[in-house]
Amino acid sequence: MHAPKHLTASPRRNVLRTACCCILLATLTPTASAQSQRLELGRRLKRFEIAWEQAPAEQRSEAVKPLKLAVNSFFSLQLSQAGQQLDNAWFAVRSTTPPSQTEKIAVAHTLSALPFCAVPETPEITLLLTPFYPADKTLPDGTLLQLVLKNPSRETLAEFQCPASAAIAGTTWNTGPLPAGDHCIEATLIAENQPVRLPDISISRIPELPQRLEKLQQAADTLRQQALSATPAPDLPPATLAAAATARSEIALLTAASAGRATEADFPLLTRLLVAEQLAATPQKATDIIAQYRSPQDLWLTLAKGRKSAPVRLRLPAADTAPPALPVLFVFHGAGGSENMFFETYGAGRTISEATRRGWLVVAPGQGLLGLSLSVSDMLDNLEHFANIDRSQVMLLGHSMGAAQVMRQMQQDPACAQAAAALGGGGRLTTAAAATLKPVRWYVAAGTEDFGRAGAMQLHRSLSAAGVTSEYHDFPNVEHLVIVQAAINDVFRFFDQSLADNQATR
């Protein structure tokens, strides 16, 4: 059976095609308002995914239509409409009882709290309540906004209440100086005696932030110069270049955040700065530094080789579940995403928790417009400077554009991983290309309502025709956005079996 011509795309063409979506997004994301929209979309998607996980099949089916509309709106850069459809999907899976008109109006709103990154002496927070997308009516008269500020231990630091109308006009919360830390604001609208919880907001208070950024910049410049020297010192720590690249990335993030520009997710900015400072000060102790931040904490590094670098978000398993040498799972996001997507969404981060509870290290690279700057093998070389990893137990998982990236990585180096999973994407491989992948087991899946299904089926057929071990699965009433969450249990069944079989034959 031959696939239609328009479906016989190569992995490279698939990457470039989906990269066009990223290019469109790149024209939008440099603005502060667009980044705020992406942040809010992520919060709403996560809320939906938590509810989807608990919903019965019939309610999940009701969410398919609004999810398709959300995906279409996202790729056409209509981000507020995408948010509205995500909320409609959330209403569908949350309960069989439709939301009240008052709740729908309240849920349409988003709250900003600035500055979200500042020094502890900052005495106040500026609040602004706005519609994220148009609602049929305005909030009822007498609606209140209630806020509770909590520290990382969930202890209350401050409370505040004001009329919603005041927050819509813009108001100030005089918190007084706050302790250093990565804190959280819980926000609730109370309309007609009905409480409606808005997504939580992260704020960070960082002592001596400007001075610390300046010092970190100086350290990063020195480390980078040492690492890229034509004659590097023989005792130069192997993590030096990555430590310098990480510092530079964190400086850019914190500089933008302290200027009020929204981050794409709610980050523990103080913690991120501390890690960058520790690595820059003592790169020779990289393994010990990283070991301090285990599950459920995450780490952000920028891995580097020469003048190329790749941002990654990773999570180490808890000490009591970690084997002496860690299996490694790489997860590759789809178009418009980043290294944060598998941690924040795709099942509200469940892929990450499933992997770490098995004692695996999870690594999510951020892809640029034209793919990855570093190969999987390059990243593994870097990771060996930060953790004791087992290169005989490496797995790759990708969604959509990430599925095409898995294909590309495996073609570049078929020995870089022992098992690969492609969800909601793929494409045709030539017989010769597929034949090089025989040592690797493949899992390919898509939803029956998934626009990436044709590409996934092509990939499976190409692999099977070349004699590569591949299994294909359809997930009924699942579209493109939810396929990762729907397939998680089965994907980990596949990875578990693949690792067990590989160990048995060693």
**What pLDDT score does 336 carry?**
86
Tell which of 177, 205, 233 closes a domain: 205
Residue 310 and residue 263 share a domain: no
370 and 501 share one domain: yes
Q: Which of 267, 292, 317 is the last residue of a domain?
A: 292
Residue-level pLDDT at 315: 99
Q: Are residues 471 and 407 in the same domain?
A: yes
Closest to 117 measured CA to CA, from 210, 218, 217:
210
Residue 22, pLDDT > 70, answer no
Greatest CA span in the chain, whole angstroms? 71
pLDDT top residue among 273 and 28: 273
Contact 426, 456 (CB under 8 A): yes
Residue 463 falls inside a structural domain: yes
Provide the pLDDT for residue 32: 63
Pick from 27-31, 156-160, 400-404: least confident? 27-31
What percent of the chain clears pLDDT 70, i.e. is strictly above it?
93
Residues 300 and 368 in one domain: yes
Q: Does 343 share its domain with 329?
A: yes
User: At 302, phi and psi to the nearest 5?
Assistant: -120, 105
Among the listed residues 216, 198, 196, the one whose alpha carbon sits nearest the alpha carbon of residue 206:
216
Mean pLDDT of the chain: 93
Distance between CA atoms of 361 and 355, rounded to whole angstroms? 7
Residue 269 inside a domain? The answer is: yes
Range of the domain at 114: 107-205
Specify whether 318 is located in the same domain as 409.
yes
pLDDT higher than threshold 70 for residue 13 = no
Structural element, H or E, at residue 443: strand 441-447
Residues 93 and 131 reside in one and the same domain: no
Q: What is the pLDDT of residues 237-269, one digit of tens each?
A: 999 999 999 999 999 999 999 999 999 999 999
In a domain, 156, yes or no: yes
Domain match, 213 and 335 both: no
Number of domains forming the structure of the chain? 4
Whether the pLDDT of residue 3 is over 50: the answer is no
Regarding whether 200 and 71 lie in a shared domain, the answer is no
Q: What does the alpha-carbon distance between residue 80 and residue 29 come to, in Å, rounded to a whole number?
A: 14
Per-residue pLDDT at 23 exceeds 80: no
How confident is the model at residue 14, as a pLDDT?
Answer: 45
Could you report the per-residue pLDDT of 410-467, keeping only the tens digit for each? 999 999 999 999 999 999 999 999 999 998 999 999 999 999 999 999 999 999 999 9
Structure tokens, 145: 């906004």
Are both 486 and 432 inside the same structural domain?
A: yes
Residue with structure tokens 């209140």? 144
CATH code of the domain containing 177: 2.60.40.1930
Phi first, then psi: give them for residue 300, nearest 5 degrees: -120, 120
pLDDT at site 196: 98
Higher local confidence (pLDDT), 119 or 12: 119
pLDDT at 10 over 80: no
Q: Check residue 31 and give its pLDDT.
A: 58
Mark residue 467 as left, alpha or beta (left: phi above 0; alpha: psi -120 to 50; beta: remaining): left
Same domain, 306 and 429: yes
Beta strands in 192-269 (DSSP E): 194-205
Residue with tokens 């309610």: 59
| Mean pLDDT, residues 344-373 | 94
Task: Specify whether 322 is located in the same domain as 405.
Answer: yes
Q: According to the model, what pLDDT value does residue 7 have?
A: 33
Give residue-wise pLDDT tens across range 194-235.
999 999 999 999 999 999 999 999 999 999 999 999 999 999
